[in-house]
Each structure stands twice: as C-alpha cells, then as structure tokens.
Structure 1
Amino acid sequence: MTTAAHPLVVRARQLATGLLGPHAERVDQEGVPASHVKALKGSGLLGVNAPTEYGGAAAPPAVARDTAEILAGACCSTWFVLTQHYTPVKLLASTELPVRERLLGPLARGELLSGIAYAHVRAFPRVPVRATPERGGWRFDGTVPWYTGWTLNDVMLLAGVSEAGEVVFAFTEAREQPGLRPTAPMRLAALSAAHTVSLELNGLWLPRDSIVLRTPQTKFAQVDRPRNTNASPAVFGVAYAALDLLEAAPEAKETAGSLRSRLDEARREAYALWDHPVPHERIEERLAWKLRAHDLLRTTTTAALVAGGGRSMALGSRAQRLAREAMFLLVQGQTAEVRQAHLGHLSEIP
C-alpha cells in the first residue's frame, strides 16, 4: 500500500478538504472550536503512532508525516493542537509504569486528547519548573511559559527538573486545580487560535503513579536534539498550501513551478534524514535541510502575498494567514542551537 492510499492519510485529506480548510480563516480569528477536536478524536488520527493492541494504528513514520503535512496545510492552528498529542502517546508506549495501562488506550483510541508542558526543559541549565519529591509523589513549582490546547485537551504531560538534574515527566488533568493556574489566553501574531496559555505552578502535587518517565537531563537532550534539527512536516504543508494559491494566479504559474521543484527536493532530502536509522547522526545535514525548508517556506508564502496584491492585507486573506503561520513555524520548537544556526544562515544570504 502506498502512503497516499493509507486509510489515515485518506482520512486526513477528507478532514482537510471537508472541514479544516473551508473554515481555516474563521478559525484563525475565532479559535479552534471543540467541534474540530471532536472530529479529530473520531478520525483515528490520534492513534497514528500508538500500538495496535491499545487501539492505535502503529502507522509508519511516513504516514505520520503525510497526515501532519495535510492537516497543517489546511489549518495550522488545528494541527498544532493535535501534534501535542503524539509525544505523550510515544512515551506511554515505551514505559512499563502503571500510567501506561490507565492512559495509553484512551489516548490511542481518541477518547482523550493530550497536551504537553515540557518545552521549557530545553532551557536547561535554567529551570523554569522544578520537580521535588514529596509525600510519595512529586511537587511541581514554577512557570510553564507555553501550553497549547487549554480548554481543548483532557490531560497534559508535564515535566520539571529535579535538584539532581533529572527530568521528571508526569500526567495530570488539563484543568485548573490546586497548585495549577492558567493565565488568560495569549494574543499572538500567529496561532492565537490554538488556545495557548502560560501555567503557574505553585505546589502542584502529583502521585507516583502519574509518573511516566524519569531521565537525566543530558540523556533527554541527546534524544530531543534530532527532533529539533529535522525539518517539520508542517513547514512543507504550509509551503505547499501557499504554492496551491500561487498556481491559481495565472501570472504566477512559472514562479510556482520553479518553487515546487525546489520544495519537492528539500522534502525528499529532509525525510530521508528523518528515516536514517541512527537519529542522533548527520545532525549538520538535518539542520542544513531544515534551514533550506525554512527558506522555501518564507519564499512561497511571500510569493502568495505578492500574487494576492492588496487583498493580502485583509485579515480574511488565506495568503496572509499562511504567511503568519510560516512566521510561527520559524520559531516553533526552537532551541539555542537551531536559532544560532538559523541566524548564521540568514547572515550569509545575499
């Protein structure tokens, strides 16, 4: 079976064309609605990387990438809410701790949607959230700067760093509770629709059976590094959506054709590195193709703005939405290493 014919890819395309794409401009202004989340939960896409014995699809990585591309290209805000779900599922599938049996099935089957509250761990040695053993469980204190999907998610994967330099990952309900308070929703230049808040933690206590992983920060960084040096499928999804707009403008067809061939090459090379059997090897190549993909993302979305002329300045313009989503994707999941490489790359552009 080709990737294009995989049931989850077909389902993602149906959702993109029948629901997400037609409402993307409204969602961009008003927020991802609960009805979108309900549609995602019923689609099977929440279990794309989950084991079949728990109700998931255990789909190949290429299928997960294709579904991400399709959904991000249709409505990046909805994709961003959904993509938070996959790391919690992956962690649960890799553990033998009790929390696996409690949560993996409901998450894999789409009964629950999970968010993540751990990107701040990448700021180490700065520790925005401290995890401290207390009363047979763990206490979390500090600030989670970014949490996406608030009011849409059912549970969250939270992480803090202990005094010993250990990263502690635990699950809790995604709601206000003793020791956990959200800020008001953030107003952002792009993806305000994704229900992003900060979380203030002041003595949030979680029992031992909520823990899914404890690992040294150095080991976490080694595993996390390839994820952030690989080009994101969402980058290609938004860039291809911009190319579709360009191709609809008669005067831009030649430009669109040239950009599409370059984007196809970047996608091919970037995904070959995704599939390399040793994730922490060829980091420089991964990063080079990530930056190449970002160049093409900026170019394709800028071209769509230019082709749209003055109409592109309207908030309801698809070209403008894509350009703002592209701006967001330039910094999404950014680490100090990626930022430094990206700035160095930009300084060399004529």
Structure 2
Amino acid sequence: MTTTPHPLVTRARQLADGLLTPNAETVDRTEVPAGHIEAIKGSGLLGIGAPEDYGGSAAPASVAREIAEILSGACCSTWFVQTQHHTPVATLMKGAAPVRERLLGPLARGELLSGVAYAHLRTYPRRPVRVVRERGGWRFDGTVPWYTGWGLNDVMLLAGVTGAGEAVFAFAEAREQPGLRASPPIRLAALTAARTVSLELDGLWLPEEAVALRTPYERWAAEDRPKTVAASPAVFGVAEAALALLDDDTAGPLRTRLSGVRDHAYALADEAAPHEHLDERLALRLRSHEVLSAATTAAVVSGGGRSMVLSSKAQRLAREALFLLVQGQTAESRRAHLDALAS
C-alpha cells in the first residue's frame, strides 16, 4: 500500500519540478527572483507549522522535513531564503505579546515573509548587537554579520542581548530606516543568490509592542542547542539531488548510507525529548555531512571536466554542500567536526 502524500508535500514537489529545479543554475549565478518568493508565498508552505486558527496548516514535523528536502534539493538558495521564515512563526506561536496578533496571521498565510537576524547570539558572551531600554521601547546597536533575504523579506526577527544578559527578540521592517543600514550583497562561494548582507545598527529603536520574546540568554541557548546539533533536512535534500546524477551502481551504496543516517536522525527527532541524546544527534549530523560530501564529490567526478563549468549542476550541489557544512555551525559543532576529520 502507498500513503497519499500530504497536500503541502504535493505542492512542494510541483513547485520544485515546475519552477525551482529548471531555473536553479540561473538563480545560482544571479539571485533568487521575487517571482520565486511570490510562488512560495502563494503555495501555503510558509504556514506549514502554524496554527490553523491563524491560517496555517499545523502539519507535523515529518511533513516539514520532507518539504525542506524537496526545496533544498531543487534550489538551495530559494530554500534558504524561505527557511528563515519558520523561526519567527515558531517564536510568535510560543508567546502572547501584541505582535503575535499583528503578525502571526499574515506570516502563516504567506502574506508576509520574515527573515531572521539572531545567529550572532551564539557568540555570547560577545555581544555583536547590544540592546538597552529607551523611551518606552528598545534601542539596538551593533552589527548583524549575516542577514539573508534582503530585498525579499517584508519583516525580520532581530535579536540582541542586554547588559544584564537578557536576550530580546523584536520584529522590524526589513528595509533601510533610521538606525538600520544594509551592506552591499555579500559575494559567497555558494548561495550568493540568497541575497545575504550585513546590517549596521546605530540606534535602531523598536517599540515594546514589537517585542516577541524576552528571556535570559542561558535559557534561550539551552533551547537553541538541540537545533545546532541536529542533522539538517537540507543536507539530505542536496545529497539526494547529487545521487540522482549518478548511475545506479555508484548511487546505490551511498543512498543506503544516506537512508540509514536519515532514518536514525529523524527517529530521534520524533521519539526523544529535544534535550535527550544530544551527543548522538551531533554524531549523526557529522555522518550526514560525510555522506553529502561523498555524494556531491561523486557527482563532480562523474561529470568530469564538464563539472568545472559554472552551469554544472554537480558543481552547484558541491558548493551548496560546502555551505551546509557551516550553516548553523557553533563552536561545539565545529570542534566535533574537526575532531572527526582528524581521527
């Protein structure tokens, strides 16, 4: 018996086959077009985990993972822009602040796209973005080193840390404004198309009503850690796209390895509490990258000299694999990866 795919999975496959995959090499050499984002907005995928009362689908995590694999394997740059959106939605779902009622519905329905500007929190006790109370709201100063989706996002979830060690998350419009200036787009070895910039904050003021979350940094870091040790569905999606370029004899053993890691990682995600088996989850993350590296390397080798042409799919996937090595990286995951490579 076969199981009928979730409607959102069907839509993701249609979007991948009809729009993302055919244009992926062009996007890689240019930028994610607004048309891709409009298609994502209209697909219902942006509300995948949001409550139905707010226009979302409240789909299970397994569906979200499958969709992430489909989108990342089709066009990793487009996937990376839209994947930022799901953290702001999840943040709003946990709170009862006024900003929830203002933004959760539009974000869940795909009327607005949100980016995130908070990865720098993982460098604490360094405080690249400092927050202080000012005029009944909050003043943000400092530098956001990486912000993806500039020119495509409508809003952003911005975070900084106070002098007392409190993490403050607030929504701002994703545009230049008093106190917020964006750099030119950053040229990257992969995913330049995702429109990544750095943001200079010089007295950006946001009202109290824009705040979605205030929490001690240590509490936020404890909740964040499981995310940074887990294997990413995008790794499996890009690996599958690379395996599709190989003959069956080469792809077969690699696909078996990939399936084993994926099944183990997803079983832990579904069956264990978020803070259980963290070392095992990190080991699986490293193993997933080993298979990804093997799959994309095999695709390049299989393509021969043609793989050196910028229009080569194999080369694009290999560069995307390099990007995923460091995406969401922390000092812990970096050390573990380096130790594994040295052993």
TM-score by length of 2: 0.99
- 1: CA distance between counterparts of 2:330 and 2:275? 15
Superposition map of 1:148-187 within 5 A: 148-187=148-187
> Are the aligned partners of 1:3 and 1:63 in contact in 2 as well (CA < 8 Å)?
no
Paired residue secondary structure (1:101): helix
Confirm or deny that 1:201 pairs with 2:201: yes
Cα distance, 1:277 vs structure 2:
3.7
Stretches of structure 1 that go unaligned for 5 or more consecutive residues are 248-252
Local SS of the residue matching 2:146: strand
The residue type paired with residue 316 of structure 1 is S
- Alpha-carbon distance change, 4 to 74 in structure 1, aligned in 2, over 3 angstroms: farther
- Residue number in structure 1 paired with 2:86: 86
Distance 1:223 1:337, change over 3 A: same
Partner Cα separation in structure 1 for residue 3 and residue 192 of structure 2:
32
Asked if residue 26 in structure 1 is aligned to residue 21 in structure 2, the reply is no
Q: Report the secondary structure of 1:215's partner residue.
A: strand
1:246 is paired with a residue whose SS is coil
Task: State the SS of the aligned residue for 2:245.
Answer: helix
Contact in 2 for aligned 1:3/1:62 (Cα 8 Å): no
1:331-350 → structure 2 map (5 Å cutoff): 331-348=326-343
1:87-125 CA distances to partner (integer Å, 9 max, x unpaired)?
000011111110000000000000000000000000001
Cα drift, residue 276 of structure 1: 3.1
Which amino acid in structure 2 is aligned with residue 275 of structure 1? Answer: D
CA distance in 1, matches of 2:305, 2:174: 42
Deviations 1:275-325 (A, max 9, x none): 134101100100011000000000000000000000000000000000000
Tell me the SS of whatever aligns to 1:152.
coil
Deviations 1:246-277 (A, max 9, x none): 13xxxxx2121010011010100011111134
State the distance in 2 between where 1:3 and 1:132 align: 52
Give me the CA root mean square deviation.
1.0
Amino acid at match of 2:130: R
Q: Which runs of 5+ in 2 are unaligned?
A: none
| Number of residue pairs matched by the alignment | 343
2:103 alignment partner, SS class: helix
- Which residue of 2 is the match for residue 255 of structure 1? 250
Query: Could you say if the C-alpha distance between residues 238 and 3 of structure 1 is closer, same or farther in structure 2, counting changes exceeding 3 Å?
Result: farther
Q: Are 2:62 and 1:67 aligned? A: no
2:4 and 2:200 map into 1 onto residues whose CA distance is 43
Structure 1 runs (4+) deviating above 4 angstroms are: 1-4
CA–CA distance in structure 2, aligned partners of residues 3 and 126 of structure 1: 49
**SS of residue paired to 2:223:** helix
Report the counterpart of residue 131 of structure 1 in structure 2: 131
User: Is 1:265 paired with 2:265?
Assistant: no
Q: Residues 229 and 5 of structure 1: is their aligned pair in 2 closer, same or farther, counting only changes over 3 Å?
A: same
Displacement, 1:2? Answer: 7.7
**Closer/same/farther in 2, CA of residues 169 and 320 from structure 1, 3 Å limit:** same
Q: Does 1:246 align with 2:254?
A: no
Identify if the C-alpha distance between structure 1 residues 160 and 311 changes in structure 2 by more than 3 Å, giving closer, same or farther: same
Q: Which amino acid aligns with 1:273?
A: L
Q: Is the 8 A contact 1:4 1:10 kept in 2?
A: no
* Aligned residue number for residue 299 of structure 1: 294
Inter-partner Cα distance in structure 2 for 1:235 and 1:86:
18
User: What is the TM-score when the length of structure 1 is the normalising length?
Assistant: 0.97
Corresponding residue number in structure 1 for 2:98: 98
Matching residue within 317, 320, 329 for 2:312: 317
Amino acid at match of 1:49: G
2:43 partner SS: coil
Q: Partner of 1:99: helix, strand, or coil?
A: helix
Secondary structure, counterpart of 2:271 in structure 1 = coil
After TM superposition, the structure 1 stretch with the greater mean CA deviation from structure 2, 162-171 or 266-275, is: 266-275
1:278 aligns with 2:273: yes
Between the aligned partners of 2:2 and 2:67, the Cα distance in structure 1 is 13
The percentage of counterpart residues that share the same residue type is 69
Distance 1:29 1:64 in 2: 28
The one-letter amino acid paired with 1:319 is: A
